[in-house]
Amino acid sequence: MTLLFNDPASFVDEMVEGFVAANGRWVRSVPGGVVRRHPPSEPTVAVIIGGGSGHYPAFGGLVGSGLAHGAVIGNVFASPSADQVHRVAVAAQTGAGVLLSYGNYTGDVLNFDQAQGRLQAEGIPCRTVVVTDDISSASADEVHRRRGIAGDLVVFKIAGAAADEGRSLDDVARVAARANERCRSLGVAFSGCTLPGADRRLFEVPLGRMAVGMGVHGEPGIREQEMPSADQLAHLFTESLLHERPSSADNVSGARVVVILNGLGTVKYEELFVVYRRVVRELAEAGLTVVDARVGEFVTSFDMAGASMTLLWLDDELESLWAAPADAPAFHKAYTEPEEHALQTDSSHGSSAPGVIPAATDDSRTAAMTVAKALRSIRSAIDEHADELGRLDSVAGDGDHGIGMQRGVRAAVEAADTACKQGAGVRTTLARAADEWANRAGGASGALWSVALHAMAAALNDEGRPSKRDLVDGVAAAARAVQSAGKAQPGDKTIVDALQPFASTFAAAVDRGDSTAGAWKEAAAAAAQGAERTASMVARVGRARPHGEKSVGTPDPGAISFVVVVKAVLPVLSEDSAVGEQTTEGRRA
């Protein structure tokens, strides 16, 4: 919802005033919009763009060298008037003619066409190139009926570069039309947008669904489907746009393209990068070369949660014009020789090189496989409880504990499985899982779980199968290491309140002669009681400390997740005797 405004009727005027004040290096205000602060020194075709407000950086943010010479700015989601278009064009033109370019919407067409007629009647040569890149808004047989969405940036950039080269009006119009003809886009949304002063969205998308085929004026999608993952959305984008290859692009394999992954308002850059990592792989697999990629916000729809993807299929002329420099409030491009973007194939996420696997006995490798099985069980349990862990963490923290635990244990599973395939023993397997848990989870919980697993690993070895006493020592070492690293004591409302009773109960049960699984079960129950007791405590250390009183009544999420973990290990111990079923006189670490 739009939050910052005064009188909604004054929103656009006040927005333009602030925009010009902030970007006076590039633009100056004129009736109806903005023009370049510094006009060309020689007569040059003036590229005039525009439409309604609510789409920033379009349209004012795209005025500058190598881009547009002026932008007409209408009311929110409303076409500017013919008079506004005429005034901006007259202010920007320098005697070489005017090219009007904008998205293909009825109101824009009516008003820009009227303005073109007035300009021509006054002796100012004028041509129009309407942007029609949205593949969802009409069939391939009726391209002229399609809307303009983020392909606006492509056409404006090509036209602006051509104009700044000093080309004629006819030639600028020709290359702009060619850019439009070789440009395709598709948009999706997860929620609608609201206008300043409105108390409801222009349209709604049901929870867990995605609208496909979005314009940029709050129009509902053409269809709905289940909410995809980032990779699934990347596949939808690439598959749909490749299917719509322009007729002038002879082949897919070997083609050179520009990719624009555009956020429509509230989808953040980090999310777009997650999508793009898959997009670039799929394009490479199809045989395309990505010459340039732009990931960010270029043509938005106020606060709509959505995204679009655009492909520009290059030829030599378009590639040269795209490579030309540009400098505007919201788009900067230094000149670069066209070059291929290297495809990153490293999937290690920055982890350290695996190094040499130490020699291990068959018994230790069997125990390592049990560790990997236990981690897979933990992964399933954490996935099941992630939302609840996040909810608990949001009471006095930032709500990311469930996600952090998921990232950590998933990475640990991958590391353990890889180590087992390479023939690692139990100590090496557990240590590598500990490293990757920390690398991927980050934060306090990632560090503490890494410390705990490393301490546990140090009590084991790659030469034999762990005994019950080895496990007792390992659990005790983990408890000491976590308490030391986190500077926490029992009663501080942390993982220690569950870990300490677990360690002491497990040791006592083993000393009585209980089986590993039996001792672990009793210890897990003690941990659960310890975690429950944290609900009445005030957080005294950690991120929740500043909001300690607020946390009273809610158990500590770190203690709860510890209980989830140890309970998930129990079925593996019950089914598999590879760990801990030697006598206490068995092999020690």
Residue 347 pLDDT: 41
What is the percentage of the chain residues whose pLDDT exceeds 90? 74
Dist CA 297 CA 133 (whole Å) = 17
Catalytic residues, by residue number, are 217
pLDDT at residue 353, as a whole number: 40
State the pLDDT at residue 340: 47
Residue 69 has pLDDT above 80, yes or no: yes
Mean pLDDT of 568-581: 76
Q: How far apart are CA 241 and CA 245, in angstroms?
A: 7
Q: What is the structure's pLDDT at 95?
A: 96
pLDDT tens, position by position, 444-481:
888 899 999 999 999 999 999 999 999 999 999 999 99
| Distance of alpha carbon 192 from alpha carbon 264, whole angstroms | 10
Rounded Cα–Cα distance for residues 277 and 217 (Å):
28
Confidence bin at 200 (pLDDT 50/70/90) = confident
**Helix or strand holding residue 90 (H, E):** helix 82-92
What is the pLDDT, as a whole number, of residue 521?
96
Q: How far is CA 457 from CA 368, 405, 430, 432, 518, in A?
A: 11, 20, 6, 9, 22
Identify the band that residue 546 occupies on the pLDDT scale cut at 50, 70 and 90: low
- What is the per-residue pLDDT for 335? 62
Name 126's bridge partners.
98
How far lies 542's CA from each of 401, 481, 483, 535, in Å?
Answer: 13, 16, 12, 16
Residues 104-147 have pLDDT tens digits of: 998 899 999 999 999 999 999 999 999 999 999 999 889 999 99
Q: Are 430 and 453 in contact (CB under 8 A)?
A: yes
Residue 372 phi/psi, 5-degree rounding, is -60, -40
> Residue with structure tokens 């633009």?
27
Contact 527, 562 (CB under 8 A): yes
**Mean pLDDT across 564-588:** 70
C-alpha count within 13 angstroms, C-beta hemisphere, residue 412: 34
In this prediction, residue 171 carries a pLDDT of: 98
The pLDDT of 293-304, averaged and rounded, is 94
Kindly indicate the confidence band of residue 421, based on its pLDDT and cuts at 50, 70 and 90: very high
Element (H, E) at 562: helix 557-575
- Residue 276, pLDDT score: 98
Question: Which is higher by pLDDT, 297 or 356?
Answer: 297
pLDDT at 361 over 70: yes
Token reading at 151: 């392909």
Check residue 396 and give its pLDDT.
61
pLDDT at 129: 98
**Tens of pLDDT, residues 165-178:** 999 999 999 999 99
Q: Please determine, for residue 337, whether its predicted confidence score (pLDDT) is greater than 80.
A: no
pLDDT value of position 542: 62
Is-contact 33 84, C-beta < 8 A? yes
Tell me the pLDDT band of 543, cut-offs 50, 70 and 90. low
Rg (CA), the chain: 31
Q: Is 287 helix (H, G, I), strand (E, B) or coil?
A: coil
Q: What is the pLDDT of residue 544?
A: 54
Q: Could you give the domains of the chain?
A: 8-333 (3.40.50.10440), 362-575 (1.25.40.340)
Q: For residue 144, give the nearest of 175, 187, 101, 104 by alpha carbon.
A: 104
Instruction: Flag whether pLDDT at 548 surpasses 70.
Output: no
**Cα(395)–Cα(550) distance, rounded to whole angstroms?**
7
| 471: nearest Cα among 525, 526, 420, 426 | 426
How high is the pLDDT of residue 530?
96
> What sign for the dihedral angle of Cα 226, 231, 237, 241?
negative
Q: Does residue 48 carry a pLDDT above 60?
A: yes
As a whole number of angstroms, the distance between CA 159 and CA 68 comes to 8
pTM of the model: 0.74
Higher local confidence (pLDDT), 300 or 252: 300
Q: Which of 36 and 197 is assigned the larger pLDDT?
A: 36
Distance separating alpha carbons of residues 61 and 64, to the nearest angstrom: 8
Q: Return the amino acid letter for 102.
A: Y
pLDDT tens, residue by residue, 491-539: 999 999 999 999 999 999 999 999 999 999 999 999 999 999 999 998 8
Q: What is the mean pLDDT of residues 181-187?
A: 97
Beta bridge partners of 65: 327
Which tokens sit at 114? 């009227």
- The DSSP annotation for 416-476 comes to HHHHHHTT--HHHHHHHHHHHHHHHH-HHHHHHHHHHHHHHHHT--SSSPPBHHHHHHHHH
Q: What angle do CA 317, 319, 321 make, to 5 degrees?
A: 70
pLDDT at 76: 87
Longest dimension (CA), the chain: 103
Other beta carbons less than 10 A from residue 110's beta carbon: 13
| d(C-alpha 518, C-alpha 510), whole Å | 9
